[in-house]
């Protein structure tokens, strides 16, 4: 029903977590993928799993403006984007530093809008395309130590709303997905930083349990398909009921 | 790194606990003010001051301030 067959879709942050799972799901539904990630090894392993020469890999770090520009230039045209590159950060107010702020905002926010900027400027986004950005429930909560992370995702939500209204005349849609805690390597890495007991406590606050990458990838599939043709500029909250309590 | 200065830095992460309570042998997780937030504070302080990254597990396994000090000294 939710078809992405023969659509060309760029997935950033495809080497692990939500991005990787989304790649596997979209590939199974007949999409032609362009995949980016920082690790050559992980991208090779993903390509081996997909086992289809129609997909392309571009190893690059979206930390760097030149890489983003080159990436956009090397793409022929797109019917969809899943921006899933991101870093998590837990910093209390009293430990702020500009360095941390810049690192988190750079990848989670600026690289996302800059990549979009180049894709539009170079006319790489087809009419009827759908752009999906992975945000976070942190963008609408106020969990301690999530200032940089949550604010970078909130900035992304707003930018994508503006983008949606600017691109609507071309029938290009743009939305964000705000996942609650999904079990991915990024979160597992972060839980090591956090007090593990606090993390276990968080799990109890999810009426439907913690999410899986599939829960998010399937929403991305929906937003990329034409079945969601009237949805643009929204932030879709997927949190297993976390915000209900 | 010196134990007394480490204890001072450790104590600085607390607001309401009397300085006299911070001894090398105190079970810091028994302090009323201890919470997951103070844990996060201590991890950030150790990263900033000693360039050592403690994990949540390191904090869980340490009982006394001195345990934590030794752990950092070993990682340093």
User: Per-residue pLDDT tens for A93-126?
Assistant: 999 999 999 999 999 999 999 999 999 999 999 9
pLDDT per position as a tens digit, A12-30:
999 989 999 999 999 999 9
Picking from A92, A191, A192, the nearest residue to B44 by CB comes out as A92
pLDDT per position as a tens digit, A37-65:
999 999 999 999 999 999 999 999 998 99
Domain ranges of chain A: 8-237
pLDDT category of residue A145 using cuts at 50, 70 and 90 = very high
Interface contact B1, partner A, CB < 8 A: no
> In the prediction, which pLDDT does A187 show?
67
pLDDT above 70 covers a percentage of chain B that reads: 100
B49 chain-A contacts, CB cut-off 8 A: none
Picking from B39, B45, B48, the nearest residue to A195 by CB comes out as B39
pLDDT per position as a tens digit, A79-97:
999 999 899 999 999 999 9
pLDDT at A190 over 90: no
Average pLDDT, chain A: 93
pLDDT above 70 covers a percentage of chain A that reads: 94
Q: Give the C-alpha separation, A74 to A58, whole Å.
A: 9
Give me the residue label for tokens 């539009």: A120
- Report CB contact under 8 Å: B57, A192: yes
- Report CB contact under 8 Å: A196, B56: yes
Q: Give the C-alpha separation, B26 to A150, whole Å.
A: 36
pLDDT above 90 covers a percentage of chain A that reads: 86
* CATH 1.10.1200.10 is right for the domain spanning B3-10+23-75: yes
Query: For A2-9, what is the mean pLDDT?
Result: 97
Give me the residue label for tokens 């010196």: B2
Residue A71: name the closest of A62, A63, A84, A81 by CA: A62
What is the fold, at CATH topology level, of the domain defined by A8-237?
Rossmann fold (3.40.50)
> In the prediction, which pLDDT does A245 show?
83
pLDDT category of residue B5 using cuts at 50, 70 and 90 = very high
Query: For B13-19, what is the mean pLDDT?
Result: 92
- Backbone dihedral angles phi then psi of residue A228, each to the nearest 5 degrees: -105, 25
Q: Give the C-alpha separation, A219 to A231, whole Å.
A: 12
Higher pLDDT, A186 or B55: B55
Residue A201 CA: distances (Å) to CA of A128, A189, A245? 43, 17, 14
pLDDT per position as a tens digit, A220-240:
999 999 999 999 999 999 999
The model carries a pTM of 0.89
Picking from A95, A144, A194, the nearest residue to B56 by CB comes out as A194
Nearest CA in chain B to A144: B37
pLDDT at A201 over 80: no
């Amino acid at each position: 029903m939710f078809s992405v067959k023969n659509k060309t879709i760029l997935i950033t942050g495809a080497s692990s977590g939500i991005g990787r799972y989304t790649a596997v799901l979209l590939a199974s539904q007949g999409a032609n993928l362009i995949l980016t990630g920082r690790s050559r090894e992980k991208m090779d392993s993903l390509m081996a799993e997909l086992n289809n020469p129609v997909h392309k890999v571009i190893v690059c770090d979206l930390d760097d403006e030149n890489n983003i520009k080159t990436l956009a230039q090397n793409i022929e045209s797109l019917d969809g984007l899943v921006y899933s590159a991101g870093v998590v950060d837990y910093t209390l107010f009293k430990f702020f530093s500009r360095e941390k702020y810049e690192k988190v905002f750079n990848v989670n926010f600026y690289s996302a809008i800059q990549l979009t900027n180049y894709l539009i400027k170079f006319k790489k986004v087809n009419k009827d395309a759908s752009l999906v950005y992975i945000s976070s429930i942190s963008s609408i909560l106020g969990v301690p130590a999530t200032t940089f992370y949550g604010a970078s995702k909130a900035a992304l939500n707003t930018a994508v709303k503006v983008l949606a209204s600017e691109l609507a005349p071309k029938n290009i849609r743009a939305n964000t997905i705000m996942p609650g805690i999904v079990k991915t390597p990024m979160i597992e890495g972060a839980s090591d930083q956090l007090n593990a007991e606090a993390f276990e406590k968080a799990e109890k606050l999810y009426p439907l349990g913690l999410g899986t990458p599939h829960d998010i990838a399937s929403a991305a599939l929906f937003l990329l398909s034409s079945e969601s043709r009237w949805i643009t500029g929204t932030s879709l909250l997927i949190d297993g009921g976390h915000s209900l309590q | 790194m010196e134990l007394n200065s480490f204890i001072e830095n450790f104590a600085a992460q607390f607001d309401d606990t009397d300085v006299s309570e911070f001894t090398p042998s105190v079970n810091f997780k028994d302090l009323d003010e201890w919470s997951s937030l103070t844990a996060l504070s201590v991890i950030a302080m150790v990263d900033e001051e000693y360039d050592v990254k403690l994990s949540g597990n390191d904090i869980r396994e340490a009982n006394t301030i001195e345990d934590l000090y030794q752990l950092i000294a070993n990682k340093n």
